[in-house]
Amino acid sequence: MDASAAKYIGAGLAAIGMIGAGIGVGNVWASYITALSRNPASKGEIGANIWIGFAVTEAIALFALIVALIALFA
């Protein structure tokens, strides 16, 4: 197999890691909406923490993307 072909396949494989982060981010927001619909008064307390959870989960997708970009360009 050609080295450049392997590079593209590798970049594609690296992007698979984003599946987990997609499930994770969906889970974060789903739990947020569930919590809010159960107790709308808690919006102030949860509101700030949800962004931490979101950013920490989303970072995993970006790690996968960085690996893909390194495979493509570096």
Partner 1 sequence: MEGPLEQFKIHNMSGPLFTIGGHSVAFTNSSLFMVASVVIASALLLAGSGKAAMVPGRIQATGELFYEFIANMIRDNVGSAGRKYFPFIFSLFVFTLFGNVMGLLPYGFAFTSHIAVTFFMAAVVFLAVTLIGLYKHGLKFFSLFFPHGAPLFTAPILIPIELVSYLSRPISLSVRLFANMTVGHVLLKVLAGFVVALGIFGVVPLVVLVAITALELLVAVLQAYIFTILCCIYLNDALHLH
Binding residues vs partner 1 (CB under 8 A): 48, 51-52, 55-56, 58-59, 62-63, 65-66, 69, 73
Of 51, 65, 73, which is closest to residue 14 (Cα–Cα)? 65
Query: Angle at the Cα of 21 (from 43 to 23), degrees rounded to 5?
Result: 70
Residue 56 CA to residue 3 CA, distance in Å, equals: 34
Smallest distance from the beta carbon of 33 to partner 1, in angstroms? 19
**Which CB, 1 or 74, lies closer to partner 1?**
74
Q: How far is the CB of 9 from partner 1 (least distance, A)?
A: 20
